[in-house]
Chain A
Amino acid sequence: MNETLQIAAFLLLPILSFIVLIFFGKKLNGHSSTLGLSLMGLMLLNALILIVNAEPYNLTAKTYEKWSIYNSFEWFSTGNLSVYLGYYVDNITAIMLLVVALIGFLVHLYSTEYMKGDPRYSRYFAFLGIFIFSMNGIVLADSLIMMYIFWELVGLSSFLLIGFWFEKDRPPMAANKAFLTNRVGDIGMFIGIMILYFHVGSFNIKEIVGGVSEMDPGLLTLAGLLVFMGAIGKSAQFPLHIWLPDAMEGPTPVSALIHAATMVAAGVYMTFRIFPFLTPDALAVVAVIGAITALMAAITAITRNDIKAVLAYSTISQLGYMIMALGVGAPVYAFFHLVTHAMFKACLFLCSGSVIHAMHHSLHHLDDHHTDPQDMSNMGGLKDKMPITHAAMLISTLAIAGVPFFSGFLSKDGILAAVLSYYYKYDGWTIILPIAGFGAAMITAFYMFRLIFKTFYGIPKKKDIYKHIHESPLAMTIPLMLLSVLSFAFAFTANLNPLKSWGWFKALIYKYGKNHNFLNMKYVNSGIESAHYDAMYLSLFVASIGIALSVLIYYLKKVDVDKIANLFNLVGLYSLSKNKFYIDKIYNMIFYKPFLFQTRTASFIDWDIYDQKIVDAWGWITLKISKYTGISDYSILDQKIIDGTSHLTQYVSTKLRKTQSGVIQNYLLGVLAILVVFIIVINQI
């Protein structure tokens, strides 16, 4: 019972924060952050206690039994259907909870300053509360159905937070886009869950893993990929990644919490949980999707000028890494990268927030409302004015670029080793995986240093803005310092070599990734180990090329940027990157234009509601399939049936009202008439 209470606290504390702040936020106002912060502090403490209890792998004892606590309660049962809700806590869960609690706490702390003066200050913290509640729900869930419920809740809270500044034009649209794009993935996930349920008879993940062996392999592949579709949506994988860059319209701390560290990692976490029953075919698809995402997002990031857009695409790219690692059979490294990435990416986002904050104040001081505070071409030379932010950002950039002694090196190395061993094993087309992996690693190093140089080095682009830049207050810099410390490798292990090393983190996750329904994991793991040194040298090599190029172009300015751009444009790469691979436009072509053409309502529709049209187009496609006759006009159908029914009911209602005439004797007559009719008619039947 004590354990249950301790676990329940992970849900109760944030939801308490939400309830109190949503109802009494107005009265607390300034103190609402204190409340949220202290509740998060309690949660962080709780997570630390949990992780101390978690049992590390003992090299000498070699116990493979996993430490776990779990419990479940019947939610409801009707007939044969019983649905249970419960939690399942093991080392992975404990680490995830710690990550969520830590980043959540730091973001709360950071936001106390960042959101100061916002008219809906308390509402913001309330939303953060419900987000963390639902995120913890996903992490704790022992069954896919419970995960799905919280999955939707996370979508909802993300919707609320992205659209937090709903007075502006773009945030509500971005929120809609995120919500609807995610929905496409979620539909697949739900269908997948249902397929699994009907074949296994349970929603519980452990039982599904144990019970899928009798399923038809083709169907299992399909079901696994359908469930994975949820991860494609939530973890912003190709082709559903389009929502994440737009989601940067939300407040920056929110981007750090949700769109870098926690929510987008939920897809990876979920795939980690379902990994044991994904068939090799499904895993190959997963790996390819991850590879495409990693490379494409990295290329796109090169040409972004908005500081947050760079980070957004970088996030997509890194998530692609994790998904790719899962696909090639290295879930442990995917999870490792998830944790290290959470630290340095949150740090990067919070740093960018600090820069934007400073820019914003400076612009405010100058009474300038036109200059974009997020545009890097207005920055430069901020190094001296904002030393702490600069140091933190540099450290986390080194981490993400995969430089030794930093955490990113450890985890990325593992992933690349896995990818390389996968290629060694299968050969052939799988060459694209290491190409994408190492290519993206190089590009990542390049564009991250581009960001650093453009923002912090060189001469300031706009002198008057530069003059009013100040370092952010302590509440904002403390999280930066803490997170940058966690971006060092020694925070996770004392050794440079991630495979031979033996840090606390490795000890905690060592037991995982040993079992798979179809793959011999022992074999896979030894393959990864043997490919490790190749991967390490290669990755060091590509990272240094990326950094060197960046130094040449942006720091020393030896090479002209435009020339390089033209050079790459010979193969169309530059405009591909500049236009984000035309993905938004392709969607426009595939889903939107034909719909316009067919329905002949083009004049009513414009680009702004394109997002809704994706969803509508799905509806239209299903309609088209079912009604191949050519009754294609969705809106007319809609109007005729729905409105017609509504008119009919309204008409009947008007007529029926006359029976209620207000004269009591008419009522009595009505009663008698119907009574007589019933006595006569029904008795004859």
Chain B
Amino acid sequence: MNNLQSIQYFLPELLIVQLALSIIILDLLSLKRWVNICVYIGLGCSALLLCQLSSPIDGFHIFNGMLINDSFSYYFKWIILISTASIIVISNYSKELDREYSVEFNAMILFVLLGMFLMTNSIDLLMIYLSIELVSIPSYVLAGILKNDKKSNEASLKYVIFGSFASGLMLFGLSWLYGISGSTNIYDIYNSLALVESPYMIYISLMLILVGFGYKISMAPLHYWTPDVYEGSPTVVTAFFSVAPKAAGFAILIRTFSILFTDANSLSVNTFPIHNVNWSLVVAVLSAITMSIGNLLALKQDNVKRMLAYSTISHVGFMLMAFSTTSVEGNIGIMFYLAMYMFMNLSAFFMVIHVENNFNVKNIEDWSGIGYKSPVLSIFMVLSLVSLAGLPPTSGFVGKVYLFRTLFATEQFYWLGIVAILNSVISLYYYFKIVKSMYFSEKVIEEKENIQAPVYTLIVLFSAQNILFYMYWSDLYNYIKGLF
């Protein structure tokens, strides 16, 4: 499809670009008070535009084969849009952020949003690289947006060095892939790879590309930046990093690997790794390492944000477990889990923001007595934590069941299943450390709780799904199944 025809499939992204630019202009014209309204209306409109974009799984190749618009990316875009929009709403109520830079903050988030949308769409090496960079570069700035905070500054420094190093490695891998195949479109590359005799170069470039994607989803051993950046960044930004870029990272990982490095160049068939390059074993091993590192290191954390960072790593490990089966069911399981993970993780982070705003606490011990000070929200926080730990009666349990099911259904990597079950047990401990601190320690908190309606509503709404999807998840699951 040529550029002009493609635009009709590209409207939400175009609107987001418009929005980001126009709020910068509004700021220049000293019309700062319009910025928020503008952002809300703009995001609402792009959601409306997104509604009418649903496509079949084979999709439309747009912009001369640079991007694809299919149902797979459509689903991920919704996850990304919902989580980003809720972050933008919450950011207005965070005391940590500097009001002076709110416009820059919003603009950066919108650029990241655009980048993440492109990540779900990319089918060209160039677009893969560009979209990952488009997400990364504003993210470095977001991590360091508290200019005078040492930790924030350190976080952004580590992030920029680690990020550009990882994307440099990935680019090297991409260049080799280009050299092998002579094309940048991944469908064309797939056709050329099938003719390659020695899989050795494919394997090296595959590993280098995995570095780039793994860094985005904080897969071990590329998880190193995650705890430091999460701890140092403002909590709103941490919440943002923990969901939307992970979803986008998984989208690009699944799409690229399923199309490039498997026997069939399609997302909708079960398949095996190309040329017996056993990368699914690599993913399985890395998944075991990822979840173990995430859970084991989370045990000893005092800082809530740092603990949640490790928890994010462990959840990524669980999702990689499903990915290692290289089956359609695995991908469905990941998409299903991501939806639930988004809600439960965001509600936990929003509660952290709420508590930080009101009681000015950072460490888990400081949470003592929150359960009595803020009773309603605490109940929902407990619900989210139970869900994160993957216990019934919450959606986290349902999601995990599907992840495990795909693993056992494909009858490979049983050892990985055992590791994962052990890890689920370990994870109970540190989530309940927060619950214990909230309810079973006696500390009198003098600060009065100041409830902000949007924060309150979002926590309750996002947390309520833990029960909702536990009771009734078939529709969502069948919907995702129907996408393929």
Contacts and interface: CB of A to CB of B under 8 A. Distances in A.
Nearest to A76: B474
A668 interface: yes
Interface stretch (B39-47, B183-191, B224-232, B349-357): B224-232
B109 to A, nearest CB: 25
Contacts of A657: 297, 300
A649 interface: yes
B203 A683 contact: yes
A674 interface: yes
Contacts of A649: 296, 299, 426
Contact of B211 (A74, A650, A675): A675
Nearest to B227: A660
Contact of A670 (B221, B472, B473): B221
Interface string A214-242: 00000000000000000000000000000
A675 B207 contact: yes
A95 B204 CA distance: 74
A527 to B, nearest CB: 47
Interface of chain A, main secondary structure: helix
Interface stretch (B156-164, B264-272, B412-420): B156-164
A685 interface: yes
A21 to B, nearest CB: 13
A679 B401 CA distance: 32
A653 B225 contact: no
Contact of B228 (A652, A662, A674, A675): A662
Contact of A679 (B203, B278, B281, B473): B203
B282 interface: yes
A678 interface: yes
Contacts of B300: 650, 653-654, 657
Given A668-B165, A670-B221, A675-B207, A660 B426 contact: no
Given A23-B376, A671-B221, A679 B204 contact: yes
Nearest to A646: B429
B119 interface: no
Interface in A291-317: none
A668 B222 CA distance: 9
Tell me if B's interface is mostly helix, strand, loop or mixed: helix
Contacts of B472: 75-76
A656 B200 CA distance: 33
Contacts of A60: none
Contacts of A668: 161-162, 165
A664 B161 contact: yes
A682 B278 CA distance: 8
A667 interface: yes
A77 interface: yes
A341 B94 CA distance: 60
B405 interface: yes
A660 B297 contact: yes
B166 A76 contact: no
B471 interface: yes
A603 interface: no
A683 B204 CA distance: 9
A682 B401 CA distance: 29
Given A74-B474, A670-B224, A653 B296 contact: yes
Nearest to B470: A76
B429 to A, nearest CB: 8
B438 to A, nearest CB: 18
A674 B221 contact: yes
A678 B282 contact: yes
Contacts of B296: 649, 652-653, 656
B200 A683 contact: yes
B293 interface: yes
A323 to B, nearest CB: 32
Interface string B460-471: 000000000001
Contacts of A674: 220-221
A23 B296 CA distance: 37
Interface in A47-81: 74-78
Contacts, number: 71
Interface in B184-213: 200, 203-204, 207, 211
Nearest to A654: B300
B72 to A, nearest CB: 23
Given A77-B474, A652-B296, A671 B282 contact: no
Contacts of B222: 671
A678 B162 contact: no
A413 to B, nearest CB: 46
A75 B470 CA distance: 10
A671 B297 contact: no
Interface string B122-166: 000000000000000000000000000000000001100110011
Interface in B442-484: 471-474
Max chain A C-beta neighbours (<10 A), residue from B220, B278, B285, B299: B299
B162 A667 contact: yes
B208 to A, nearest CB: 8
Contacts of A667: 158, 162, 224-225
A678 B207 contact: yes
B316 to A, nearest CB: 16
Contact of B158 (A77, A664, A675): A664
Contacts of B299: 649-650, 653
A77 B472 CA distance: 10
Interface string B272-286: 000000100110010
Indicate the member of B203, B296, B471 with the most A CB atoms within 10 Å: B296
Contacts of A75: 471-472, 474
A660 B296 CA distance: 12
A664 B221 contact: no
Contacts of B158: 664, 667
Contacts of A652: 296
Contacts of B278: 682, 685
Contacts of A678: 207, 282
A664 B159 CA distance: 9
A18 to B, nearest CB: 14
Contact of A682 (B157, B169, B282, B429): B282
A76 B376 CA distance: 29
Contacts of A74: 474
B229 to A, nearest CB: 11
A76 B221 contact: no
Contacts of B161: 664, 668
B4 to A, nearest CB: 43
A74 B282 CA distance: 39
Interface string A626-657: 00000000000000000000100110111011
B322 to A, nearest CB: 15
Contacts of A662: 228
A347 B471 CA distance: 39
Contacts of B203: 679, 683
A674 B474 CA distance: 40
Interface string B162-176: 100110010000000
A671 B166 contact: yes
Interface string A172-209: 00000000000000000000000000000000000000
B57 to A, nearest CB: 23
A675 B204 CA distance: 10
Contacts of B204: 679
B211 A76 contact: no
A70 to B, nearest CB: 20
B478 to A, nearest CB: 9
A18 B120 CA distance: 44
Given A664-B162, A685-B281, 17 more contacts: A75-B471, A76-B472, A652-B296, A653-B297, A653-B300, A654-B300, A656-B297, A657-B297, A660-B224, A660-B228, A660-B297, A668-B162, A674-B221, A675-B169, A679-B207, A682-B278, A683-B203
The 7 closest A-B pairs by CB, nearest first: A667-B224, A674-B221, A653-B299, A653-B296, A664-B158, A653-B300, A671-B221
12 contacts: A75-B471, A646-B429, A649-B426, A653-B299, A653-B300, A660-B224, A660-B227, A667-B224, A671-B211, A678-B207, A678-B282, A683-B200
